[in-house]
A and B are shown apart, each in its own frame.
Chain A
Amino acid sequence: MSSPTSDPDLVRRFMNRPIHSPSTGGSNPGGAAVVRTPFGEKKPSSTVTPTTPSRLGPGSAFQPTWSGPENASPAMSLVGQYANASNRSPAATAGEQDQENQYPSSRIRTRTIEPDEYESTRKKLRDTQYELSSTKTELERKIVTMEQAARESDILKRKLMARVDSLESDRRFLYEQEKSLTKKVQTLEEDSIHSKTASNEIIKNLRDENMSIKDRLSQLQEESREKQSELTQRVRTLTASLNHQQQTLAETQDSSHSQSSLVAEKHQKLAEALDRIMELEDQNRQLKLNTRGMEDVVRVQKELQNQVAYIKQLEGTNRQLTAECKHLKDTYRNVEVLKEEKLSLEQKLKLMDDLRVKCGKFEVQNGVLLKEKEQWAAFLEKSDRTDFNSPYELAKTVATLRGDKTALMEVRDEFQEALKARDAYIEQVEQQLSELKTRLVEQEEICSKQSSIARRHEMTKDFALRQVESLKEQLKSYDMEEVQLMGGTYENQKNIRIEQLEKLIQECQSKLESMAATANRATEESSVGSAATLALLQTIQDQSSVSFNKLSAEKQALVESKLALHNELELLRKENASLDAKVLEHEIAIGAGAFNPAVSRVLEIKDSPAARYQAIRQQMLDALKEENAALLQSLTDLQQQQPSGHIFGQQQSAFGDHEVALQDKNVVPIASYNRLLGDFKRLQEEFADNDKRSKRLKQSWTLKADEFLDAVRSLLGYKVNFLDNGRVELISVYNAEEQQSFVFTSGQNDEGTMQLVGSGSQKYMEEHKESFDHWVNQLGSIPAFLSRVTLDLVEQQAHQLREEQQQHDQHPPHYRLFQSLADDDDTQNSDMMVDP
């Protein structure tokens, strides 16, 4: 690289380097790439570039290789090559260069074998040597020119240096100047800052003053306003009084006018009179002078007297008028007094108004109390005495009524007990009666038995008498027979016998008599017994009548008590009604949530949503309170820090230092930070909640969307897939293969129109090209096209099914596969059936 060699390639390289890449670093991979690429057209002045690659021979190794296909643009591949080269590591490029160095020598070695070639190369060498020399000379020339140029440039440089020096000095001078200026500026700035602060202070002071002045002004304005209002009030009153006075004045003026006119008249007259007096005096004098008769004087004197009298009269009227004027003044004073009175009355009126308001209040209170009273009286009916003056009385009467009631109840109980005792007694008596009755019946039975026995005895007596008769007749007949037959042999015997028989008869008779007597006695006894029973009955009757009387009396009493009880019942009913009303009231109260704390308790879970919310609110409130307290504290601190003095000034300064105060870190208390933290947390929770909600919504939306897609699938026979870019893929459910699909995209600007942009497979698209042309291109209906496709597919499937069945008849195992496919379809169809 340092010295030119005979190798043409090396020469070329030597020549190339300085020209093509002025920065001959050599290690730069970019530089290496530049060497390899023929950028001759960029540097037409180069002498080496005309050498063709064929002349270079081994230079073909440096030719760029095209990796791309032939029709690709060369520029592109060149760029690629360049990039490749640039990517290469420096070491790699160094290796390449070594290879390049070695390569030509090996070539020369091989070429020495052939003499022709040697000749030609020698020739070439000569040519190149010539070229080299020419280029050398040229180069030398160039060097000379370059040296000249260098010298020129040196001169130029020197000149420039000189200029630079001058400029440097200038610059230094300027720098110094600038320094001084900056210093000045700094001082000025400081001054300005000082002045600013001073002016700020002044401004502050002025503001303070301004504020104070303003406040004073406002105060003064207020005062003036007050005064103005006061004055206007006074003016008003004064004008009113003035008016009044003017009126009175006008009146008085009128009167005085009339009086003055009178006075003027009088004056005139007086003047006239005086004139006349003067005249008369003159005349008098003249007369005196003339000393003419006294008659005139007398006349004049008379006239004078008249005049004097007249004047006196005038004076009297004048006095009268002044008196009148005085009187009017008095009346005016009276008017003033009346005004005062009026004011006092107005005040009284105000008081009365207050009283009226109070009265209204009392009326309201009265209404409330009346309502209360009505409520008290609500339990009482109209017919009841509602003239209770106080609930106390009512309560008292209720209490007394209750007492009465209990007393009456007791009385009733007593009566009931007495009644019960009576009932028991009556029962006893009745029992006695029934006993007696049974005894009577028994006695009567005995009696009847006795009488029947007596009758039987009588009958036996009759029978015995008849027997005696018959026996007597028998005896007689026997006697007769004996007399006739025996002739009295058995007379004695017979007599004895008769006597015996007679005795027997007598005995019988006595017996009979005794029997009759006993019978009689028995009847007598029985009659005596019945009498006894009768007497008993009588006594019982007597007793019962007595008891009846008693009972009736008791009944009376009971009726009375019944009445009393009835009244009580009424009372109780009323009470019941009122209690019902109370029960209703209580029911309503219970419905509203009231309960009896003595019996039951209301429990609540501590962690209820309401409690949670309350707790959050409480927390917020506490935090705010804390913050408020802290802020107040800091505010008071700030106020204490301010110089105490003029209130307005303080306010002003507080206002002015507001910005400064905010910068103070103590101004924002920790409490507000905590509060903000709490707020933040709460908001985060809210956010999480919202997040949850939106997630739920999304879930429900996806569910709904799935449902919708299912509905579309089962109703329209297409599975809809939404692809990116807003494209929609439709896959017919009658298509077993996934890639057989249509892809639609929405039209320009999302107008809702769809365009078919492709399908899963080209073949599928071509299959339906005809129907697409017909339905979409001609009739402009995509749904119709899709329906057509569906129909085709269904028909195809049906056809296939038929074929399969036919095949199945021959080959049964195939059936199963198709059956499963048909089953799938069945499910789809069933979906369709169910969904509507």
Chain B
Amino acid sequence: MQQQQRPTSSRNQITLRGSTKVIVEFFEYCINSLLFQRGLYAPEYFKMTKKYGLNMLVTNDPEVKSHMREILKQVEAWLMACKVEKLILAIKSKETMTVLERWQFDIHNTKDQSSTINATTSTDPFSRPLAGQDSTPTTTTSSLSSPSKPKPEKTEKEIQTEIQAILRQITASVSFLPMLDEKCTWTILCQTEKDAEVPATWSDADPHLVHNAEQVKLRSFSTNLHKIDALVAYRLNDDL
């Protein structure tokens, strides 16, 4: 994606599509990593790949893979429509079906501030639908925003460094999270806006609240259009 952009644009601009792609990729690796680290599947279900300058473990189970692909495809579609608010990975006990951990990724759309700059300066082919979509605010606000100093665009490398940091933190967070000593299963929830288009394979779900929760805010990363805040809420052991 970025490689495609390079010839067309002198600066590495990440448009909505590019930003979405970055985020979806991050989710894929992040969820895989969490599935491995929280022991939801045996280690032999994973193989090691290099990503973001880290050794990431990605599942090689075709079933899990296809399931994840299906989810992320839909998430990508929602991200393109700017309808996603949160993506949540809930880890539940198989025995009691209580939620033990809840990894929440808040997706903030910072498009309104930055898209104007993008739309006016971008020559990228991918930004065209975006420019057409909000052409009216662009024309009106660009004149206002142009005199004000535009924020420096984040390079791909900076974003990658941030993602690396957040993934490292997730890896490190295993040390303070309580042990999952019962058999667990997982599910991915997507909090969207009310008017989002929902395919037949998706349905409204329980928000999977964590009772007696302790929470830890993790790092965040941002592209030029989105900001991702990570947070983990986990159930404290009652007997402790």
Contacts and interface: CB of A to CB of B under 8 A. Distances in A.
Given A591-B215, A593-B207, A603 B198 contact: yes
B88 interface: yes
Given A600-B194, A601-B204, A593 B102 contact: yes
A605 B74 contact: yes
Contacts of B74: 605
Interface in A572-631: 588, 591-595, 598-611, 613-614
A601 B207 CA distance: 9
Contact of A602 (B42, B71, B205, B231): B205
Interface size class of B (residues with CB under 8 A): 35 or more
B211 A592 contact: yes
A602 B206 contact: yes
B204 A592 contact: no
A593 B215 contact: no
A605 B188 contact: yes
B209 A593 contact: yes
B176 to A, nearest CB: 16
A613 B40 CA distance: 13
B207 A591 contact: no
B158 interface: no
A621 to B, nearest CB: 12
B201 A593 contact: no
Given A602-B204, A603-B204, A604-B202, A614 B97 contact: yes
Interface stretch (A28-36, A307-315, A465-473, A692-700): A692-700
B230 to A, nearest CB: 11
Interface in B74-128: 74, 85-86, 88, 90, 92, 94, 97, 99, 102, 104
B235 to A, nearest CB: 9
Nearest to A598: B194
Q: Among A593, A613, A614, A700, which residue has the most Cβ atoms of chain B within 10 A? A: A593
Contacts of A609: 64, 67, 185-187
Interface string B27-49: 00000000000000010110000
Given A588-B213, A594-B207, A610-B185, A602 B190 contact: yes
B196 to A, nearest CB: 8
Interface string B178-210: 000000011111111110101001111111111
B49 to A, nearest CB: 15
A84 to B, nearest CB: 61
Contacts of B189: 602-604
A775 B209 CA distance: 72
A589 to B, nearest CB: 8
A604 B213 CA distance: 22
Given A599-B193, A602-B206, A603-B189, A591 B104 contact: yes
B84 to A, nearest CB: 10
A603 B203 contact: yes
Contacts of B233: 591-593
A600 B193 contact: yes
Given A592-B211, A593-B207, A603 B88 contact: no
A697 B44 contact: yes
B191 A603 contact: yes
B44 A696 contact: yes
A600 B83 CA distance: 9
B191 A602 contact: yes
Contact of B191 (A601, A608, A610, A693): A601
B88 A593 contact: yes
Contacts of A588: 213, 215
A605 B45 contact: no
B134 interface: no
Contacts of B25: none
A604 B209 CA distance: 14
Nearest to A604: B205
Interface string A255-292: 00000000000000000000000000000000000000
Contacts of B70: 605
Contacts of B196: 601, 603
A607 B201 contact: yes
Interface in A689-718: 693, 696-697, 700
B173 to A, nearest CB: 14
Given A593-B207, A593-B233, A696-B45, A604 B187 contact: yes
A598 B194 CA distance: 8
A601 B194 contact: yes
B231 A591 contact: yes
A611 B187 contact: yes
Contacts of A599: 193-194
Contacts of B42: 693
A601 to B, nearest CB: 6
A520 B163 CA distance: 95
Contact of A603 (B92, B202, B211): B202
Contacts of A595: 86, 191, 207
Contact of B213 (A591, A600, A607): A591
Contacts of A594: 207, 209
A696 B44 CA distance: 6
A592 B209 contact: yes
A700 B187 contact: no
A6 B9 CA distance: 123
Contact of A601 (B90, B185, B192, B231): B192
Contacts of A607: 67, 201
A681 B210 CA distance: 33
Contacts of B88: 593, 602
A614 B186 CA distance: 11
B190 A604 contact: yes
A517 B237 CA distance: 113
Contacts of B190: 602-604
B194 to A, nearest CB: 6
A613 B93 CA distance: 11
Contacts of A608: 67, 186-188
Contacts of B99: 593
A696 B46 CA distance: 10
B103 to A, nearest CB: 11
Contacts of B207: 593-595, 602
Nearest to A612: B185
Q: Among B44, B198, B231, which residue has the most Cβ atoms of chain A within 10 A? A: B44
A154 to B, nearest CB: 90
Nearest to A599: B194
Contacts of B209: 592-594
A603 B213 contact: no
Contacts of A604: 187-190, 202-206
A780 B70 CA distance: 63
Given A593-B99, A593-B233, A613-B94, A605 B201 contact: yes
Nearest to B213: A592
B61 to A, nearest CB: 8
Contacts of A700: 44
Contacts of A613: 94, 185
A697 B190 CA distance: 34
Nearest to A611: B187
A591 B71 CA distance: 22
A613 B96 CA distance: 12
A602 B206 CA distance: 7
A702 to B, nearest CB: 12
B44 to A, nearest CB: 4
B39 to A, nearest CB: 14
Interface in A166-199: none
A592 B205 contact: no
B178 to A, nearest CB: 15
Given A593-B99, A601-B196, A613-B185, 12 more contacts: A591-B215, A593-B102, A599-B193, A599-B194, A600-B193, A601-B193, A601-B204, A602-B189, A604-B187, A608-B67, A609-B67, A696-B44
Interface of A: 588, 591-595, 598-611, 613-614, 693, 696-697, 700
7 contacts: A593-B88, A595-B86, A600-B191, A601-B193, A603-B190, A604-B203, A610-B92
6 shortest interchain CB distances as A-B pairs: A604-B205, A610-B187, A608-B187, A593-B209, A591-B215, A592-B213
